[in-house]
Amino acid sequence: MLYVASTSGRVTAISIKALPFSIVWQCEFGVPVFGSLSVSSPSGNVICCLVDGHVIALDPSGSIIWTVVTGGPLFAGACTSYVIPSQVLICSRNGSVYSFELEGGHLLWQYDVGEPITSSAYVDENMQLSDPSPLADRLACICGSSGSIYLLQINSNATTYGNQQVKELVDPMVQEFAHMNLLGDIFSSPVMIGGRIYVGCRDDYLHCIGVEAKVSIKK
């Protein structure tokens, strides 16, 4: 199955099992979709971010499972990863990174970086920060549009905190691990593999940034 979103607000599921390809279903949301769709594993649910701040989860048959609203416009797609299997990360232009529970859409945590974000988050699936277990903390790379790069340390075993602020938690589900600034704006999503961050910047360079073992990153 191939899922395609358009700026007209339509999400289309296309079967590519055999030629000619055929449309299986379509959903009309009436709001532009600028970010890429994300498919969660193993459920196969499709996560769609609308520019008006809505996040919609669809099952493989096109039925809406849950809908949530963030506090700002969404220009980037959702981020899912098998190393944080219960979470989907959403970056908003209001400067917040949201983590929603994949099955029901409940808010797990929210982190404000203080500047607009127009690109997707990226989770390093190779680097672990604690014991080598499936629930070890992971790093997510977030790029602010003004050129800042934030590394967030995410607790893989996060649970819903409701109205409680992240900074008030004894065992925080997310905290800043490191942060640095580049010399140009960033609008495209980063890639992070094994402690290496690759990001294109409007200073005309592609940057490769290495994460050190301790709490710092170097260019």
Residue 53: name the closest of 100, 16, 87 by CA. 100
156, 216 contact by CB (below 8 A): no
Whether the predicted pLDDT of 162 surpasses 70: no
Confidence (pLDDT) at 163: 43
38, 47 contact by CB (below 8 A): yes
Question: Whole-angstrom Cα distance, residue 35 to residue 38?
Answer: 9
Q: Which residue has the tokens 């099992």?
A: 17
Whether the predicted pLDDT of 130 surpasses 90: no
DSSP 55-122: EEEE-TTS-EEEEEE-SS---S--EE-TTSTTEEEEE-TTSEEEEEETTT--EEEEEE-SS---S--E
Instruction: Record the tokens describing residue 148, joined without a space.
Output: 């800042």
Question: Whole-angstrom Cα distance, residue 21 to residue 150?
Answer: 41
Q: Which of 106-110, 165-169, 212-216 has the lowest mean pLDDT?
A: 165-169
User: pLDDT by residue (tens digit) across 138-156?
Assistant: 999 999 999 999 999 998 7
Question: Whole-angstrom Cα distance, residue 187 to residue 212?
Answer: 25
Whether the predicted pLDDT of 219 surpasses 70: no
* Mean pLDDT computed over every residue of the chain: 88
Confidence (pLDDT) at 22: 95
The total number of structural domains in the chain stands at: 1
**Quick one: average pLDDT of 147-167?**
70
CATH classification at residue 177:
2.130.10.10
Residue 160 pLDDT class (50, 70, 90 cuts): very low
What single letter denotes the amino acid at residue 64? I
Greater confidence, 186 or 170? 186
Whether the predicted pLDDT of 216 surpasses 90: no
Q: What percent of the chain has pLDDT over 90?
A: 76
Confidence (pLDDT) at 212: 77
Nearest 5°: CA angle at 62, between 120 and 32?
45
- Domain encompassing residue 177: 2-218
C-alpha dist (Å) from residue 175 to 110, 113, 118, 140: 10, 11, 20, 10
Q: Which of 30-34, 42-46, 56-60 has the lowest mean pLDDT?
A: 42-46
Confidence (pLDDT) at 156: 75
Q: Which of 96-110, 112-126, 150-164 has the lowest mean pLDDT?
A: 150-164
Greater confidence, 170 or 195? 195
**Quick one: average pLDDT of 186-190?**
93
